[in-house]
Amino acid sequence: MNPITIRRFTAEDRDWLVTQHRDLYARDEGFDESFGVLVGQIVDDFLAQHDPTREAGWIAQRGEERLGSIFCVSLDSSRAKLRLFLLTPEARGQGLGWRMLETCMGFARDCGYSGMQLWTHESHRAAGALYARNGWILTDSRPVVSFGRDNVEQTWEILL
């Protein structure tokens, strides 16, 4: 079996990334089409205007098979935002999430960011546990209606 590599995101990954987010969140969370539209907008904005010296995305891959994504984008002059973190079901439970998180956080540190923030949903318990194990702090949690269903949004932060 081929080893899993983590490489930089390219424009050729766009459709895969949007489709995976849309389909997995619809299946696992009951999200409607508005979630896929949002992911497409985030990726298109990144492709059109990201600063490659302070922002990057990565794709986890085994051979030709893509297994996940994670992005580091600028939130403000001193903090980065973690975005679009996803692992396909077959890639979960192998330590890949930790590797991807470390890649993203290491990039943010190397860019001189003093902290990071992310937005997620309470239902992503495995991701929340991963964040907590790696020093992230849950700073906000609130019930909302988004993507066609009731959710609890969470904000997590870490000092780098």
Per-residue pLDDT of 112-154, as tens digits, reads: 999 999 999 888 888 999 999 999 999 999 998 888 888 899 9
| Cα radius of gyration (the chain) | 15
Q: Is the dihedral of CA 39, 69, 87, 95 positive or negative?
A: negative
CATH number at residue 106: 3.40.630.30
Task: Look up the domain containing 94 and give its range.
Answer: 4-159
Pairing relation of β-strands 4-8 and 65-74?
unpaired
What's the mean per-residue pLDDT of the chain? 95
What's the one-letter identity of residue 122?
E
Q: Are 60 and 6 in contact (CB under 8 A)?
A: yes
In degrees, rounded to 5, the angle at the alpha carbon of residue 81 between the alpha carbons of residues 62 and 50 is 75
Domain count within the chain: 1
Residue 138 pLDDT: 97
Residue-level pLDDT at 123? 84
Tokens encoding 145: 């209606």
For the entire predicted model, the pTM comes to: 0.95
36-75 pLDDT, tens digit each = 999 999 999 999 999 999 999 999 999 999 999 999 999 9
How confident is residue 2, by pLDDT bands cut at 50, 70 and 90?
confident
Q: Are 69 and 84 in contact (CB under 8 A)?
A: yes
